[in-house]
Amino acid sequence: MESPRLPAPPGVDDRWLVSDRLGHQLIRVMRAVERAKAGKSVGPDGVERAAYVLLARLVLEGPRRSNALAESVHSDPSTVSRQVAGLVRAGLVERRPDPEDGRATLLAPTDEGLRVFHANRDRRNREIGAMTEYWDEADRVRLVELLEQLAGDLEDHHAPTPPSAAVRGQEAS
């Protein structure tokens, strides 16, 4: 579906018009994802879908403390703690003693957690493959490259300003 052709405000350039089209398409994608997820807040394993993000992080990046996990997914530690408790109850994540600090624990995927992660990843990849099976492979690869660039730019643009950088910014004014 093409972006609607609304009249542009006076004085805008082509870059603004392309950004407007991109914004429209991003909204369409987000809405389509929301529709696909509607009514599916719990996965086939009885675990909250949001908790799978935590499981994936642990599988892909290795065991870590709960606070470090919360930081890596840009989430509140209390929310992550609740979701981790569900993953532990489901047998997908376990707590292990931290070898660097015996008082602390590390979260790590269990064998069942690895199996569930790989099954979910396979299901997702098959769905994406089916949706894009008629695409030219070069277009699929280019889309991945562009989305990687966009995701990185979004993360950088919305990253919290470190306190030292905020102070430097005030001194410069």
Q: Which pLDDT tens digit goes with each residue over 55-95?
A: 999 999 999 999 999 998 888 999 999 999 999 999 999 99
Q: Are 94 and 63 in contact (CB under 8 A)?
A: no
Q: Are strands 101-109 and 93-98 parallel, antiparallel or unpaired?
A: antiparallel
pLDDT-derived band at 11 (thresholds 50, 70, 90) equals confident
Q: Which pLDDT tens digit goes with each residue over 124-137?
A: 899 999 999 999 99
Q: What angle do CA 74, 78, 96 make, to 5 degrees?
A: 90
| Predicted TM-score (pTM) of this structure | 0.75
Chain centroid to CA 115: how far? Answer: 20
116-148 in b/e burial notation, b at 16+ Cβ within 10 A? bbeebeeeeeeeeeeeeeeeeeeeeeeeeeeee
